[in-house]
């Protein structure tokens, strides 16, 4: 029988524990950022910076794409549990935006590695906004043409993506 000391003394085991701990901390930070940003006043109901995407983009760059996407999915579930909205339309909309942004950022980072962090983040913000608009269309407004909002959503995605990109760049630079 293998003792606990033998398992934890192996270098691979320690590295794996460190990586799992880092992922847990990043997921908790992303969920906390999402929950902190949620009650802030906004000009439009869906207009928010998306600070939790800083953690997602950080994970995509520092760890790997799969981890970044996983953090995006898990943080929306944690925030939804905390707010009591798990599997509600609000959670579905948030989940679709977070995962779409993470997938877009991961694809660009992987296939266009020389792309700047800000550009990656802007495309993630636009993907998030389009995905959320599609979720609203499917859930609530199947007969309405809400795609007219697409132009506004793109113009909102650029500055919010730029903010998230700049913060992520600083975080990467300092860690």
Domain that holds residue 59: 4-174
Residue 107: name the closest of 68, 147, 165 by CA.
68
- Give the pLDDT score at 175: 86
Please list the ranges in the chain whose pLDDT falls under 70: 1-9, 41-47, 142-148
- Give the pLDDT score at 72: 96
Q: Considering the entire predicted model, what is its pTM? A: 0.85
- Give the pLDDT score at 23: 94
pLDDT single digits (tens) 18-50: 999 999 999 999 999 999 988 776 666 566 788
Residue 106: name the closest of 168, 56, 55 by CA.
56
161/56 Cα distance (integer angstroms): 13
- Phi and psi at residue 44, in whole multiples of 5°? -120, 150
Task: Give the chain's count of helices (H) and strands (E).
Answer: 7, 0
21/144 Cα distance (integer angstroms): 45
The CATH number assigned to the domain holding 102 equals: 1.10.1760.20
Residue 22: name the closest of 89, 71, 87 by CA.
71
Number of structural domains found in the chain: 1
Neighbours of 84 (CB within 10 A): 8
Lookup: tokens for 59: 């994970």
Neighbours of 120 (CB within 10 A): 24
Lookup: tokens for 116: 């700047």
Please report, to the nearest 10 degrees, the dihedral formed by the alpha carbons of residues 164, 65, 73, 38 taken in order.
-10
Burial of 146 (0-12, 13-18, 19+ CB in 10 A): middle
């Amino acid at each position: 029988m293998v003792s606990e000391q033998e398992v934890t003394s192996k270098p691979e085991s320690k590295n794996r524990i460190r990586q799992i701990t880092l992922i847990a901390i990043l997921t908790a930070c992303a969920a906390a950022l999402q929950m902190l940003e949620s009650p802030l006043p906004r000009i439009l109901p869906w207009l928010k910076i998306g600070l939790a995407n800083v953690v997602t983009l950080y994970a995509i760059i520092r760890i790997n794409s799969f981890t970044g996407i996983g953090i995006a999915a898990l943080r929306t579930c944690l925030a939804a549990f905390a707010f009591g909205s798990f599997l509600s339309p609000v959670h579905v909309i948030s989940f679709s935006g977070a995962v779409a942004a993470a997938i877009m950022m991961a694809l660009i980072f992987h296939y266009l590695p020389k792309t700047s962090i800000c550009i990656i983040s802007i495309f993630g913000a636009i993907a998030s906004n389009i995905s959320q608009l599609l979720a609203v269309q499917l859930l609530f407004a199947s007969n309405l043409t809400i795609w007219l909002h697409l132009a506004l959503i793109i113009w909102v995605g650029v500055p919010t993506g730029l903010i998230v990109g700049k913060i992520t760049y600083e975080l990467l630079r300092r860690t």
